[in-house]
Structure 1
Amino acid sequence: MAATVGRSFLVHPSTCASLIGNGNGKSSFCFSAKPSRHSYTVPVVRAQERPTWLPGLDPPPYLNGTLAGDYGFDPLGLGEDPESLKWYVQAELVHCRFAMAGVAGILVTDLLRVTGLSNLPVWYEAGAMKFGFASTTTLFLVQMILMGFVETKRYMDFINPGSQAEDGTFFGLEAAFEGLEPGYPGGPILNPLGLAKDIKNAHDWKLKEIKNGRLAMIAMLGIFVQASVTHAGPIDNLVDHLSNPWHKTIVQTLSCSIA
């Protein structure tokens, strides 16, 4: 059976396609590039050109590889409905960005705390801190109002793309948040470096963002589990591991926590 990537070919045995003696007791098989009336075609295996999350897997038809980071992974079939798929794409994008911001914030503040440069609490106790400039209730209400406003604008742009870039929709600051397409705002505030200005052709940038975002979500899950088991921050755990790398590992930590 013949196989090729991206282009199929056929093998046609000629009229001499039979075992014949070659004078030394061995047999050979003759092939001809041109088909004859006795020729037949051999089934061809077309190798996949598109990478998938599991090698050899046939991705579902609704995941055709056009989405950034599409490797055919949808074991629950959540994206079968085109409208639901659009929403899941935006939801993943937002979760990725929150995860990247969260991981960066946890690592930076934990590093400042461990090195003694700042008197900050460990990240999972930061929410219990009291601030002198405002009460906890005030901070919560302000956060709800601001986040609610931003999320409402994002949702409105999702259901009606481009509507939030019209004049008068954002206190005259529309140009500062120049919308590129749903999920990808820009402008000097959200895209100060001017990266991916042509968002329609910025597949590489989208792919890099979604890959880093997925990695950040996994890292965030690891930080949650780590804090639950060790009751310490990620930098503390790293320092503890480096102090005795052969005996202070995830295996010993989990075994001690179970015991």
Structure 2
Amino acid sequence: MASVANMQKCAFAGRSLVTRGTAVPRAPARGLRVAAASDRQMWLTGAEAPKHLDGSLPGDFGFDPLGLGTDPDRLKWYVEAEKTNGRWAMMAVAGILFTEATGFAPKWFNVGYEAGQDYPLPALIAIEAVVMGYIETKRLQGFKQTGKSGFLNAHPFDPAGMNSDSMALKEIKNGRLAMIAFVGFSVQALVTREGPLANLGAHMSDPFNVNITTSILKLPETLSQ
């Protein structure tokens, strides 16, 4: 801190008085000004978040290399779309693992095809179009009115009263992980024609001969079956 001493003349006593002036603060160091920003957790160490991602959204780690969220209205829709896809992915991954572990459906990717043989396809399409079309229309209308996604007339849909900042962050993290896992399950199904647990067991029993490299090398043989 720098201080200024002023000599003032006392009008009555005729002597000099020394008074202390107000402290003059120095400009804060640049490192201190950016400390808050540097403490923010980013998707990559040293990465800089774009201006439209200020850290206020749950799960915002400054990742938007294509600039898809620069439009505020579009960003709101992308946030809800990511949550919706994450929820579907979490249900799918849990269902795939459960049905394979219990032996109900060892090869999850064939279940829909096999079950569909007993039902007329046009009727299934018609029912799904009507039911899902109605639900999705209500969800879109609710989003336009409230800015939140939901189910029927509940926006957001939270019957258990668990909505909180902490749960929102956990949901988006688990949803992203589930979406990546489902892509992995799908690629495994294409390459090995097996479920994820069967692939894991085969790899653990013989990791040097059963791994991603050997599976890719055997892909032409697998596809010809």
Partner of 1:224: 186
Partner of 2:133: 148
The 1:243/1:164 distance shift into structure 2, 3 A limit, reads: closer
The 1:131/1:95 distance shift into structure 2, 3 A limit, reads: closer
The residue identity in structure 2 corresponding to 1:73 is F
Q: 1:44 aligns with which of 14, 30, 33?
A: 30
Give yes or no for contact 1:52–1:72 (8 Å, CA) kept in 2. yes
The 1:257/1:157 distance shift into structure 2, 3 A limit, reads: same
Per-residue deviation at 1:232?
A: 1.1
Flag structure 2 segments of 5+ consecutive residues without an equivalent. Answer: 3-25
How much is the aligned-residue C-alpha RMSD, in angstroms? 3.0
The 1:103/1:163 distance shift into structure 2, 3 A limit, reads: closer
Q: Distance in 2 between matches of 1:208 and 1:164?
A: 17
Q: 1:82 aligns with which of 72, 96, 107?
A: 72
Q: Distance in 2 between matches of 1:218 and 1:80?
A: 24
Per-residue deviation at 1:161?
A: 1.6
The residue identity in structure 1 corresponding to 2:175 is G
Partner of 2:171: 209
Residues 48-59 of structure 1 correspond to what in structure 2 (within 5 A)? 48-59=38-49
Give yes or no for contact 1:153–1:164 (8 Å, CA) kept in 2. no
Q: Does 1:185 align with 2:157?
A: yes
Q: Distance in 2 between matches of 1:59 and 1:162?
A: 24
Residues 120-159 of structure 1 correspond to what in structure 2 (within 5 A)? 120=105, 122-130=107-115, 134-159=119-144
Give yes or no for contact 1:227–1:233 (8 Å, CA) kept in 2. yes
The 1:164/1:106 distance shift into structure 2, 3 A limit, reads: closer
Residues 96-115 of structure 1 correspond to what in structure 2 (within 5 A)? 96-113=86-103
The 1:140/1:129 distance shift into structure 2, 3 A limit, reads: farther
Residue deviations 1:207-235 (CA, integer Å, cap 9, x gap):
00000000000001111111111111112
The 1:55/1:137 distance shift into structure 2, 3 A limit, reads: same
The residue identity in structure 1 corresponding to 2:40 is R
Give yes or no for contact 1:96–1:213 (8 Å, CA) kept in 2. yes
After TM superposition, which residue ranges in structure 1, 4 or more long, deviate above 6 angstroms?
162-165
The residue identity in structure 2 corresponding to 1:186 is D
User: Secondary structure of the equivalent of 2:146?
Assistant: coil
Residue deviations 1:139-172 (CA, integer Å, cap 9, x gap):
332222221111111100011128999xxxx6xx
Relative to the length of structure 1, the TM-score reads 0.66
Q: Does 1:195 align with 2:181?
A: no
Partner of 2:217: 255
Give yes or no for contact 2:86–2:176 (8 Å, CA) kept in 1. yes
Residues 55-66 of structure 1 correspond to what in structure 2 (within 5 A)? 55-66=45-56
Give yes or no for contact 2:43–2:62 (8 Å, CA) kept in 1. yes
Q: Distance in 2 between matches of 1:42 and 1:83?
A: 37
Residue deviations 1:172-222 (CA, integer Å, cap 9, x gap):
xx5xxxx3x4xx3122xxx3xx322xxxxx111000000000000000111
Q: 1:161 aligns with which of 139, 146, 154?
A: 146
The residue identity in structure 1 corresponding to 2:73 is E
Give yes or no for contact 1:156–1:163 (8 Å, CA) kept in 2. no
Per-residue deviation at 1:55?
A: 1.6
How many residues are paired up?
Answer: 195
Relative to the length of structure 2, the TM-score reads 0.75
Per-residue deviation at 1:258?
A: 6.6
Q: Distance in 1 between matches of 2:77 and 2:144?
A: 10
Could you say which structure has the higher helix fraction? 2
